[in-house]
Structure 1
Amino acid sequence: MRRDELLITIYDIAKRTGLSPTTVSKVFNNYTDVSAKTRTRILEAAKEMGYLPNANARSLATKRSWTLGVLFTESSGLGLRHPFFGGVIENFKASAEAKGYDLMFISRDIGGNNGTYLEHCRFRGIDGVVVIYADPNQPEVAELLASDIPCVLLDFNRANVATICSDNVGGSEQAVRYLYELGHRTIAHLSGGRDTFAGRQRLLGYERMLEELGLSGREEWISDSGDFFSIQGGYEAMTRLLKQPELPTAVLAAGDNLAIGALRAIREHGLSVPGDISVVGFDDIESAELVTPPLTTVRQNMREIGGRAAQMLIGLIEGVAGAEAVVLPVELVIRESCRKV
């Protein structure tokens, strides 16, 4: 049998590098007391030799499955189809894999039997869970968050649970102030839904800045998409707004998909953006700069959110971090969908 057909072990790598098997083992089990130079040396040798760590052996040694759960609630209707959450998950995945973890999507179905999220996590031996766009007050989500399985809650805020979200309030405030500085005094809002955390927070920022600037808020100029930040929801919300006897000169949409739907509705009513109505979105998804006109929007840092969520969750699993509430800054990206009045 040829050498490359044999199972490569940590002892082979230790012999190749001149280091101890213990040091080699520490690298593959993500211990932190190995220098970067030594770690690189071991990983390069392992790659050259075609070494693949034995997952079962590693699990026995570390008492972990090296698997992170990803939980969406099915009722949201979003999942990976939404470009923002898809981007966050991609970055979460990259950061988790860099630390040696695999991902598993969590549902209530276990081998065809209906169970709970917590039961599924127990059954699979999940080390920790990132909970995305799920209502923490939903009984089965609350049960998981209250368990001893480390969790990070994304795009929500809840006491005694590790959470991470963007500055939704501040983002809306930035957008409204920008429109005000362009001369707009009648600014409407396409809401992402008052029953969603992000929707409520972005509405709050809109209302706060109107009050700070001395502008009158009109309830009929807050149009709820009612469809979880979708393009169709934005189209319908803008269509309702365009039926008002007096039209605003600007609109802040609580999401880029809503704004893209609004662009379509405005065009179909024979109006132009930004000639008749200026539009600002929220998220800065990839298509925001591809639509006509390119969309001015509030950028959430998908890379930072996903990477930080993975870092927080792994820190909880390894016992080196506690639950913290992280709010990440946002940035107003100015393109061509707004004009001075």
Structure 2
Amino acid sequence: MATLKDIAQRANISTSTISRFLNEDPTLSVSEDKKRAILEAVESLGYQSPKRSKKQFIHHEAPKTNEPVGAHVVMLNFLTPTQEIDDPYFTSIRAGIQNRCLEKGIDLRTLHLDQVDTNLKLIENSPALIAVGHFADHVVDTLYKANRNIIFVDSNPLGSKTDAVLIDRFALSEEVMQNILKNRCKRPAFIGNNEERLHVFRKVTKENGLYHETLCKVSKEYCIESGYQAMKEMLRLDELPDVVYAATDMVAVGVYRAIYECGLTIPGDIQVIGTNDISSARHMSPSLTTMRLFPFEMGEIAIDMFIEKMAGRPYKKTVLFGHEFIWRDSFKMA
């Protein structure tokens, strides 16, 4: 059976865009050419989706499966629609969730953080809740009181009390830092949030006598602007960093901009390492060395875990995804 990945390959359009289009996302802006390409790929591949409109798509009889066709699940996203558009990582997680729901005939109902209080009954009555992102303690308490069948994606605030789908931030940041040490970098810098990657960066640099507080920029945002502003501050220092570890590729884009505005080069003056391997990372100049993650697959696995729950799985489960270091031109191989 055809999947969103098949359509993406045929239409040469990202899976996240296709998923949002098929789900009639009101925040999506897409050209008529792309709409036509998606529809043509859907028709030629015989893609089957319970969400499709009869006016837009060719009808195909849904296959008979043993999966809970007709079931529904609520997905709660901690980002606003506008924030999510600017974050390819969480957009890909949502696309993976939507894709698996479409494949399995599961009705997906989406909420954002500001809609929790007015939709508590919906959350309470749902067979499970998929909570994507990072939530304040009081929100976690509210959610757990409303529905104990929670599957957290990219966080695990309640430990063994709930299911979770995670990336191993400790392991991936350890690998980044070991490569920085192997390259004999003397003034490593970090730009990101206050989480595991920051903690590993501080631990490793302090252990090796390389820590400088001015080269550690903590921000609440994972965006181009936060990377740009943090890098601009570092570029005012008397001694510049020789490598920047950016918590996301979007942050790295801002880092590139600030470095080039200052008349410096990458990797000649400052090397850069990102995280996520977004589609544009290989096309940056120079191409971005980064850590490849698997957010689309994380979203799919969250729905697989929901299906297991509905089939009677009696225990809680945590799935920990791996990563892959992608060597490109922004960081010199030792």
Q: TM-score, normalised by structure 1?
A: 0.72
Instruction: Give the deviation of 1:282 after TM superposition.
Output: 0.8
- Does residue 133 of structure 1 match 2:133? yes
Residue 97 of structure 1 deviates from its aligned partner by 2.4
* Aligned equivalent of 1:89, options 57, 72, 94: 94
How many angstroms apart in 1 are the aligned matches of 2:190 and 2:117? 40
**Alignment correspondent of 1:217:** 211
- The one-letter code of the counterpart of 1:297 is T
Cα pair distance change 1:135/1:119, threshold 3 Å: same
Larger radius of gyration: 1
- Residue 134 of structure 2 aligns to a residue in which SS? coil
| CA distance in 1 between partners of 2:156 and 2:110 (Å) | 22
1:254-303 CA-to-partner distances (Å, cap 9, x unmatched) read: 11111110000000011011010000001111121121111001111123
Q: Distance in 2 between matches of 1:291 and 1:321?
A: 47
Contact 1:145 1:161 (8 Å CA) reproduced? no
Residue in 2 that maps onto 1:202: 197
Question: Tell me, what secondary structure is at the counterpart of 2:108?
Answer: strand
| Secondary structure in 2 matching 1:217 | coil
Q: How far apart in 1 are the matches of 2:109 and 2:217?
A: 37
Aligned twin of 2:145: 146
Change in Cα spacing, 1:331 to 1:51, as seen in structure 2 (3 Å) is closer
Counterpart-to-counterpart distance in 1, 2:252 and 2:114: 36
Distance change in 2, residues 1:143/1:230 (3 Å): same
Tell me if the contact between 1:315 and 1:321 (Cα under 8 Å) persists in the aligned partners: no
- 1:146-165 aligned at under 5 Å gives the runs 146-148=145-147, 150-158=149-157, 159=159, 160-165=161-166
- How many angstroms apart in 2 are the aligned matches of 1:274 and 1:215? 23
Instruction: Describe the SS at the equivalent of 1:138.
Output: helix
Partner of 2:168: 167
- Matches of 2:187 and 2:60, distance apart in 1: 64
The Cα offsets for residues 92-136 of structure 1, whole Å up to 9 and x where unpaired, read as: 2222222221211124788xxx844422324xx433221111315
1:229-240 to 2 correspondences below 5 Å: 229-240=222-233
Identity %: 26
Does the CA contact (< 8 Å) of 2:74 and 2:108 recur in 1?
Answer: yes
Query: Which amino acid letter does the alignment assign opposite residue 298 of structure 2?
Result: I
1:184 CA drift (Å) = 1.1
**Is 1:275 the equivalent of 2:268?**
yes
Moved more, 90-99 or 275-284: 90-99
2:84 aligned residue (79, 84, 88): 79
> AA paired with 1:225?
S
| 8 A Cα contact 1:275 1:339, kept in partner | no
Distance 1:167 1:50, change over 3 A: closer
Conservation of the 8 A alpha-carbon contact between 1:253 and 1:280? yes
Shift of 1:170: 1.3
Q: Equivalent residue of 1:298, what SS? A: strand
Partner in structure 2 of residue 68 of structure 1: 73
Distance 1:300 1:108, change over 3 A: closer
Q: Distance in 2 between matches of 1:109 and 1:166?
A: 26
- How far did residue 50 of structure 1 move? 5.4
| SS, match of residue 209 in structure 2 | coil
Secondary structure at 2:222's aligned position in 1? coil
* Aligned residues between the structures: 273
Does the aligned pair in 2 maintain the 1:163–1:324 contact within 8 Å? yes
Distance 1:164 1:183 in 2: 35
Counterpart amino acid of 1:246?
A: E
How far apart, in 2, do the equivalents of 1:322 and 1:116 lie?
Answer: 30
Distance 1:109 1:268 in 2: 38
| Structure 2 counterpart of 1:209, one-letter code | V
Q: 1:80 to 1:163 in 2, by over 3 A?
A: farther
Distance change >3 Å, CA 311–CA 321, structure 1 → 2: farther
Task: For structure 1, list consecutive stretches of 5 or more residues without a partner in the other structure.
Answer: 1-42, 44-48, 54-61, 195-199
**SS at structure 2 position matched to 1:243:** coil
Per-residue deviation, 1:76? 9.6
Partner of 2:242: 249
What TM-score results when the alignment is normalised by the length of structure 2? 0.73
User: How many Å separate the matches in 2 of 1:50 and 1:238?
Assistant: 52
Q: CA RMSD in A?
A: 2.9
**Alignment partner of 2:146: what SS?**
coil
- 5+ residue gaps in structure 2? 1-47, 49-58
Paired with 2:138 and 2:123, the residues of 1 have a C-alpha distance of 17
